[in-house]
Amino acid sequence: MDALKLISQSSMKENVPEVNVGDTVKVHVRIAEGDKSRIQIFEGTVIAKKHGGIGETFTVRRVAHGCGIERVFPIHSPVVEKVELVRSGKVRRAKLYYLRKRVGKAAKVKEMIK
């Protein structure tokens, strides 16, 4: 088990983004199109964080043209260039799956005032 911990610690990114459930974030993702690559921004609310350590992921949800879109991003993936925090959310749940059923203003998360 110690060897696994050693490998996972050495391969982790140094600048791990600090994202929490309820935050609105902009995720900069590297997209490969043929021989070129570009950065695409996916903005939405973090509704879940799963696993931990090297395999940690976070789920971001947004509504585009009336259709809900969710993407799961590994935190330590080289595809994720950076994660920008747009605003912090005030939530009392670890998973915000109830937002899937809500539409309009009911699907908003309160902003945390610091």
SS3 13: coil
Rounded CA separation 40/23 (Å): 19
Distances (CA, A) of 52 to 37, 41, 82: 29, 24, 19
Residue 112 has what DSSP assignment? P
Q: Is pLDDT at 103 greater than 80 in this prediction?
A: yes
SS3 60: strand
Report the alpha-carbon angle 53-58-63, nearest 5.
Answer: 175
Q: Please identify which residue in the block is written with the tokens 């902009």.
A: 26
Report the alpha-carbon angle 79-76-15, nearest 5.
Answer: 100
Q: Is pLDDT at 14 greater than 80 in this prediction?
A: no
Residue 7: what pLDDT? Answer: 66
- Look at phi and psi of residue 17 and say left if phi exceeds 0, alpha if psi is from -120 to 50, else beta: beta
Residue 54: what pLDDT? Answer: 84
pTM: 0.88
- Domains with residue ranges and CATH for the chain: 2-107 (2.30.30.790)
Query: For 15-72, how does the pLDDT look when each residue is reduced to its tens digit (9 = 90+)?
Result: 788 899 999 999 999 999 999 999 999 999 999 999 988 889 999 999 999 999 999 9
